[in-house]
C-alpha cells in the first residue's frame, strides 16, 4: 500500500444500527487538514459544534496520519478526536505504541464511530474489514484483563487492543482509552465517549508491512535524513541525545523544580525542594528501571518500564512513570514516594483514567480538606498515598459517594464543594506539570489551548527550558504571543501527520514538509506546513466559538494571576496573562479569542 493513498480507507460505523462502510475521505479535506488530529477535527466539525458530548450524534474518531505505519521515524501514533465530556470543547488525544501502525497494516486509515449500541460491543479489524462483535462478556473488566481476554481469543502475535476500563464504562469525565502497552489517549475524557456509546474496545489483527518495499528511492533518502536528525549526537537538543533516551520524560522533574516552576500542594507552591529527586527520572533509572520499550519506528525509547521490588506494591511491573503523572500524583499532592506513584499510574491504566486529571482532583480535594470545606465528606491529607490508592479505585468505578463526585473531574468537584477557585483548570481541564509563574509561555499556552489546559498544544517549555535551538527567557512575558502561536501551528500539523511531539526537538517545518512531500503527489514547503497548522488551529477555535466559548474563555486560575511565587527561581512572579493575550490575539488575527470571518475566509475554513 503506497503512502500517498492515505485517506482512501476510512471506516464509518453506526453503533445504533450496526451498519459499517468504508469510503475515502474527501480529498480536499486531506489536502487541507493532512490526517490525524486535523482530519479528525474536520469530521467532528461536520457533525456540528452544538452536539452534546454524551449524545449519539457526537462522533468518536480514531485517525492515523499519512506516515503512520511506515518506517519514518517517530510516526507510530494516532489521534482520537471527539467533543470532550470534561470541557465541552473539541478535544484530540494521541497514543503511541504499535496500535496505530497495525491499523494501517490492516488496511484502514481511520475509524469514525457514531450512534450508541444497545449492548456492549467491540470492533474487530482485519484485512481491510471492520465488524462489530458482542463485548458483554468483558464489560466491567479492567484494561489489562480485557487485553488478556482478546489475546487468548485471537492470539497475542500481530494483535493490538485499545480499550476502555470501568471509568469509561461509567462515563467518568476524564476516562481514557488505553492500548496494550499502557499507552493512553489520556486527556479530554475520550474513554467516557466510548462508554456512552457502549464501545468497549478496538481489536486489530495485522502483520507488519514495510512501506519502503513499494515506495521510490526518494522516500528512503528522506527517511534516512530524518533519522539522522533524530540521532545526531552533535545536536544537544536531539531527542536521542541523553535525557529522553536515558531517563524518559521524567528527566524534567529536577530541571523544572530547579527554576521554581514545579507546582506543589495544588500549585500553592512552585518548588518541591530536595524531595523532587525522589520522584525524578534519575531516581527511577537508578533504582527501579527494568526495560526500555519503544513505539513503532522510534529510535528514542523514552518509555521506562519499572518493577517495584519492596513495600506494599512489591511485584508490580508497569510502563511507565512519565513526568506529567509523576508530578500530578507526586509533588502536586505532596507525595514523594515513587512506588506509590507507579501503583497509581498502573491503576489509571487499568481503570482507564487520565492520571494528570486524577492528581489534580486529589490535590484540589486535599486543599479543601485542609481548609475544612468538605461538607461531611471524608478527609484526605496531603501525601496520604494509601488513601489515594484506595480512592483511585472508587473514582474509577464511580463508587458512592466520594468516588462518584470526583469522577466528574477537578472543576466539577470544586464547584460541588463551593470553591471553584481551588480548581487549577482551564476550560474545565486540569493543568499539567509547569507552573505559569515560572514558565510564562506555558501559561499562555494553557490559556489559549483549544482543548483546555495542555502542555502539548504549544510546548514552549522546550524553548523556555532550553531543549530546542530557540531560546526564550522563562520569566519574560514579552514576545511569548508570537512564540506560542508558532509552536501551536507547528504542532497542529505535526499532530496531523501524526508524529511524536519530540520529533520537533530535532525537526522543524522544513523537515516536516520533506516528509509530507514523499507522502503525497504534490510538493510541500515549510510555509505550507505552517499554513496547514494555522488552518487546523483556527478550525478548532471556530468549533469552540460556535460551541459557546467566546471572549474571556482564554484565562488562567486566579492563583497564577494574583498569588506571587514565594520560592527560588520564580520568587515574586505571577503570570502576566493579559499582556501576553494582547500580543497573541494580534499575532492570530483574532478578536478577543474569537476567529473573525475574514480569517476564516483567508484559511478556507467552512
Average pLDDT, stretch 203-216?
A: 74
Cα separation, 367 vs 381, in Å, equals: 8
Please write the tens of the pLDDT for every residue from 112-143.
999 999 999 999 999 999 999 999 999 999 99
Per-residue model confidence (pLDDT) at position 139:
98
Q: For 140-163, b where at least 16 C-beta lie within 10 A, e where not — what string?
A: ebbbbebbbbbeeebeeebbbbbb
At 212, the pLDDT band (50, 70, 90 cuts) reads very low
Per-residue model confidence (pLDDT) at position 261:
98
How high does pLDDT run on average in the chain?
Answer: 95
The answer on pLDDT for 175 being more than 70 is yes
Radius of gyration of the chain (CA): 22
Mind spelling out the 3-state secondary structure of 517-531? HHHCCCCCCHHHHHH
**H/E stretch holding 416:** helix 410-416
Per-residue model confidence (pLDDT) at position 240:
58
Average pLDDT, stretch 177-198?
A: 96
Cell matching residue 194? 466510548
Average pLDDT, stretch 477-504?
A: 97
Q: Render 127-192 in DSSP notation, one character per residue.
A: TTEEEEEE-GGGTT--HHHHHHHHHHHH-STTEEEEE--HHHHTT-TTB-EEETTS-EE-SS-HHH
At 3, the pLDDT band (50, 70, 90 cuts) reads low
Cα separation, 297 vs 438, in Å, equals: 35
Cell matching residue 34? 493532512
Please write the tens of the pLDDT for every residue from 348-380.
999 999 999 999 999 999 999 999 999 899 999
Q: For 80-112, b where at least 16 C-beta lie within 10 A, e where not — what string?
A: bbbbbbbbbbbbbbbbbbbbbbbbbbbbbbbbb
The answer on pLDDT for 84 being more than 60 is yes
Nearest to 256 by CA among 237, 241, 272: 272
Domains of the chain, each with CATH number or no CATH:
3-213 (3.60.9.10), 237-423 (1.10.569.10), 444-602 (1.10.599.10)
At 241, the pLDDT band (50, 70, 90 cuts) reads low
Per-residue model confidence (pLDDT) at position 334:
98
3-state SS, residue 442: helix
Please write the tens of the pLDDT for every residue from 565-603.
999 999 999 999 999 999 999 999 999 999 999 999 999
Per-residue model confidence (pLDDT) at position 213:
43
Per-residue model confidence (pLDDT) at position 373:
98
Average pLDDT, stretch 441-457?
A: 98
Average pLDDT, stretch 453-477?
A: 93
The answer on pLDDT for 168 being more than 90 is yes
The answer on pLDDT for 1 being more than 50 is no
At 235, the pLDDT band (50, 70, 90 cuts) reads low
- How big is the chain, counted in residues? 606
Among residues of the chain, what percentage have pLDDT more than 90? 89
3-state SS, residue 203: strand
At 100, the pLDDT band (50, 70, 90 cuts) reads very high
At 214, the pLDDT band (50, 70, 90 cuts) reads very low
Per-residue model confidence (pLDDT) at position 238:
63
Amino acid at each position: 500500500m503506497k503512502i500517498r493513498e492515505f485517506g482512501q480507507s476510512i471506516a464509518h460505523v453506526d453503533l445504533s444500527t450496526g451498519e459499517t462502510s468504508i469510503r475515502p475521505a474527501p480529498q480536499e479535506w486531506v489536502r487541507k487538514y493532512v490526517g490525524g488530529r486535523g482530519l479528525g477535527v474536520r469530521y467532528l466539525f461536520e457533525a456540528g459544534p452544538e452536539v452534546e458530548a454524551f449524545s449519539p450524534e457526537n462522533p468518536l474518531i480514531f485517525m492515523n496520519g499519512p506516515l503512520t505505519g511506515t518506517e519514518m521515524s517517530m510516526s507510530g501514533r494516532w489521534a482520537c478526536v471527539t467533543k470532550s465530556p470534561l470541557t465541552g470543547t473539541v478535544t484530540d488525544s494521541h497514543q503511541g505504541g504499535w496500535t496505530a501502525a497495525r491499523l494501517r497494516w490492516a488496511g484502514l486509515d481511520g475509524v469514525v464511530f457514531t450512534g450508541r449500541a444497545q449492548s456492549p460491543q467491540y470492533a474487530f479489524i482485519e484485512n481491510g474489514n471492520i465488524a462489530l462483535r458482542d463485548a458483554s462478556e468483558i464489560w466491567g473488566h479492567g484494561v489489562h484483563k480485557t487485553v488478556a481476554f482478546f489475546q487468548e481469543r485471537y492470539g497475542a502475535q500481530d494483535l493490538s487492543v485499545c480499550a476502555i476500563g470501568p471509568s469509561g464504562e461509567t462515563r467518568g469525565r476524564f476516562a481514557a482509552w488505553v492500548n496494550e502497552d499502557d499507552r493512553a489517549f489520556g486527556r479530554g475524557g475520550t474513554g467516557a465517549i466510548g462508554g456512552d456509546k457502549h464501545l468497549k474496545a478496538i481489536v486489530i489483527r495485522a502483520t507488519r508491512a514495510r512501506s519502503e518495499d513499494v515506495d521510490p528511492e526518494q522516500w528512503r533518502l528522506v527517511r534516512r535524513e530524518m533519522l539522522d536528525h533524530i540521532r545526531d549526537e552533535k545536536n544537544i537538543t536531539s531527542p536521542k541525545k541523553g535525557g529522553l533516551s536515558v531517563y524518559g520524560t521524567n528527566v524534567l522533574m529536577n530541571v523544572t523544580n530547579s527554576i521554581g516552576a514545579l507546582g506543589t500542594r495544588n500549585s500553592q507552591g512552585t518548588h518541591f525542594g530536595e524531595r523532587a529527586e525522589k520522584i525524578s527520572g534519575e531516581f527511577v533509572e537508578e533504582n527501579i528501571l527494568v526495560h526500555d520499550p519503544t513505539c513503532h519506528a522510534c529510535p528514542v525509547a523514552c518509555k521506562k518500564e519499572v518493577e517495584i521490588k519492596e513495600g506494599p506494591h512489591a511485584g508490580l511491573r508497569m510502563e511507565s512513570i512519565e513526568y506529567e503523572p509523576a508530578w500530578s500524583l507526586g509533588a502536586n499532592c505532596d507525595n514523594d514516594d515513587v512506588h506509590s506513584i507507579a501503583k497509581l499510574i498502573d491503576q489509571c491504566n487499568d481503570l482507564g483514567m487520565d492520571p494528570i486529571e486524577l492528581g489534580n482532583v486529589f490535590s484540589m480535594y486535599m486543599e479543601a480538606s485542609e481548609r475544612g470545606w468538605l461538607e461531611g465528606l471524608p478527609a484526605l491529607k496531603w501525601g496520604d498515598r494509601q488513601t489515594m490508592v484506595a480512592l483511585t479505585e472508587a473514582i474509577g468505578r464511580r463508587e458512592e459517594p466520594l468516588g462518584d463526585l470526583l469522577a466528574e473531574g477537578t472543576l466539577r468537584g470544586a464547584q460541588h464543594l463551593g470553591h471553584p477557585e481551588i480548581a487549577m483548570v482551564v476550560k474545565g481541564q486540569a493543568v499539567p506539570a509547569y507552573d505559569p509563574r515560572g514558565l510564562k509561555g506555558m501559561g499562555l499556552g494553557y490559556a489559549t489551548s483549544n482543548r483546555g489546559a495542555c502542555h502539548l498544544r504549544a510546548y514552549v517549555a522546550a524553548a523556555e527550558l532550553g531543549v530546542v535551538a530557540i531560546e526564550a527567557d522563562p520569566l519574560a512575558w514579552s514576545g511569548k504571543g508570537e512564540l506560542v502561536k508558532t509552536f501551536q501551528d507547528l504542532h497542529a500539523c505535526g499532530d496531523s501527520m501524526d508524529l511524536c511531539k519530540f520529533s520537533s526537538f530535532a525537526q522543524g517545518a522544513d523537515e516536516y514538509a520533506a516528509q509530507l512531500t514523499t507522502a503525497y503527489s504534490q510538493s510541500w514547503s515549510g510555509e505550507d506546513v505552517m499554513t496547514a497548522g494555522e488552518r487546523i488551529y483556527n478550525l478548532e477555535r471556530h468549533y469552540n466559538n460556535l460551541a459557546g466559548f467566546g471572549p474571556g474563555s482564554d484565562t488562567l486560575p486566579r492563583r497564577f494571576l494574583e498569588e506571587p511565587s514565594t520560592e527560588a527561581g520564580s520568587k515574586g512572579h505571577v503570570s502576566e496573562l493579559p499582556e501576553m493575550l494582547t500580543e497573541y490575539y494580534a499575532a492570530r488575527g483574532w478578536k478577543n479569542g474569537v476567529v473573525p470571518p475574514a480569517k476564516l475566509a483567508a484559511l478556507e475554513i467552512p
